[in-house]
Amino acid sequence: MKFSALTGLILAAAVFIASAILSFSNTGVLVDAKSALIVVGGTVTTTLICFSFREVSALVKVFFKRVIFGNVVDPALTIIEITNLARAAKKGKANFERAVADIRHAFLRDGAEILFWAEEDISDDELRDLLETRVYMQHERYMAEANQLKSVSQFPPAFGLMGTTMGMIALLQNLNDGGGEGLGQAMAIALITTLYGLVLSNFLLAPIAENLSKQSQEEFFVRRMIVEGLMLIHQGKPPRFVEEYIVSYVLPKDRPKK
């Protein structure tokens, strides 16, 4: 579980609640069904217009799988696993197979399994092209999910503005009719709807999209490192050389401790 993301979501809710308590004598004024209907309902319907049911369902799964319950990318652990694979490859195919079974990084494990049959009539360039195609296609897919959420995050403020406009129209209509009973309710819809849109966008959707985008970049560099490590193993390079080469992909603070 990613405690930083979960902690951030909890703190965001705490900041909003604390701000409401400090700003209003009656926090119940922030609960408005009409405003929620405009912002949440509008965001959901617009999202369904833009994306299919399958894509929307995938975004929900992505939130839990990658943001809440996803594994944190650990370059140091991946470097250790690549180095162990290089050592095992020098000891024979049986040792290499046992080392592959112990790998935790899914992409590294899949790539290492390719080496089982890559000794056939496959050139180094063809092997590299295969591995890099997987890297770029997975990266494109992950970035597409992040971009979809970025698009969704633009909807709530727009519906908040729509609610504000509707509230101001109701306010002016009451003034024109000479009545003052609905002025407070109209102003509440106008302002609370805007607040709902800003909170939903800036406290939830936009941060999640940024989280996914950052994860995708980190995983992209790790996968590029894995490709280079697997190519060096395939070429039979010494384990020490493999380790020294792949550590060039990360900052000194992210390298394995010796």
64-81 pLDDT, tens digit each: 888 877 767 788 999 999
Dihedral angle, C-alpha 190, 196, 198, 204, nearest 10 ° = -170
Phi-psi label, residue 92: left if phi above 0, alpha if psi -120 to 50, beta otherwise = left
97's enclosing H/E stretch is helix 93-101
The total of structural domains in the chain comes to 1
The pLDDT-based confidence of 200 (bands split at 50, 70, 90) is very high
On whether residue 195 sits in a domain, the answer given is: yes
On whether residue 145 sits in a domain, the answer given is: yes
pLDDT of residue 132: 93
On whether residue 111 sits in a domain, the answer given is: yes
pTM of the model: 0.80
On whether residue 1 sits in a domain, the answer given is: no
pLDDT of residue 13: 85
pLDDT of residue 118: 67
**What count of residues does the chain have?**
258
Provide, rounded to the nearest whole percent, the portion of the chain with pLDDT above 90.
36
Contacts for 248 with CB less than 8 Å, ≥ 6 apart: none
pLDDT of residue 178: 60
Can you give the residue range of the structural domain that contains 249?
Answer: 31-258
On whether residue 23 sits in a domain, the answer given is: no
H helices present in 24-92, as ranges: 33-36, 42-50, 53-62, 75-90
Contacts for 94 with CB less than 8 Å, ≥ 6 apart: none
On whether residue 13 sits in a domain, the answer given is: no
Pick the closest to residue 7 from 15, 210, 18 (CA basis). 15
Q: What is the mean pLDDT of residues 206-232?
A: 92
On whether residue 18 sits in a domain, the answer given is: no
pLDDT of residue 120: 66
Q: What is the mean pLDDT of residues 176-189?
A: 64
For residue 249, the tally of other CB atoms under 10 A from its CB is: 18
Q: Which of 28-37, 64-73, 196-205 has the highest mean pLDDT?
A: 196-205
On whether residue 11 sits in a domain, the answer given is: no
What does the mean pLDDT of the chain come to? 86
- Provide φ and ψ at 123, rounded to 5°: -80, 165
Range scoring the smallest mean pLDDT among 107-116, 143-152, 182-191: 182-191
The pLDDT-based confidence of 17 (bands split at 50, 70, 90) is confident
What tokens were used for 217? 């970049």
| CA 188 – CA 31 distance, rounded (Å) | 10
